[in-house]
């Protein structure tokens, strides 16, 4: 990637509103060093017991292992967390 990492896109909004807390959902984001040091690149959402969820998955003939495992788990166990990392690939 070239260019200044601190440079914002001209399409970026000037800021983001404060979001109210959502009952049954805990959220945290942090710098795990996955992409760039000093920038949030990992988010974890913890779901209260009893939360229901649905998944939309790729139709690729060769999906990545996390996709296959998630498809199996979502069928048999209620979700308790969602982990999102930077560098998400379309798999």
Digit-coded pLDDT (tens) for 11-57: 888 888 888 888 888 988 888 887 777 778 889 999 998 888 777 88
Q: What are phi and psi of 7, to 5 degrees?
A: -70, 130
Helix (H, G, I), strand (E, B) or coil at 66: helix
Question: Tokens standing for 68?
Answer: 């296959």
Predicted TM-score of the model (pTM): 0.61
Instruction: Give the Cα separation of 51 and 74 in Å (integer).
Output: 12
The pLDDT score that the predictor gives to residue 58 is 84
Instruction: Give the Cα separation of 41 and 35 in Å (integer).
Output: 7
């Amino acid at each position: 990637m070239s260019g200044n990492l601190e440079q914002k896109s001209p399409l970026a909004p000037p800021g983001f509103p404060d979001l109210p807390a959502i009952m049954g959902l805990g959220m945290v984001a942090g710098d795990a060093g996955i992409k760039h040091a000093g920038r949030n690149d990992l988010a974890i959402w913890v779901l209260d017991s009893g939360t229901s969820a649905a998944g939309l998955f790729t139709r690729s003939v060769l999906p990545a292992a996390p996709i296959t495992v998630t498809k199996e788990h979502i069928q048999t166990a209620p979700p308790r967390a969602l982990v999102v990392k930077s560098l998400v690939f379309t798999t």
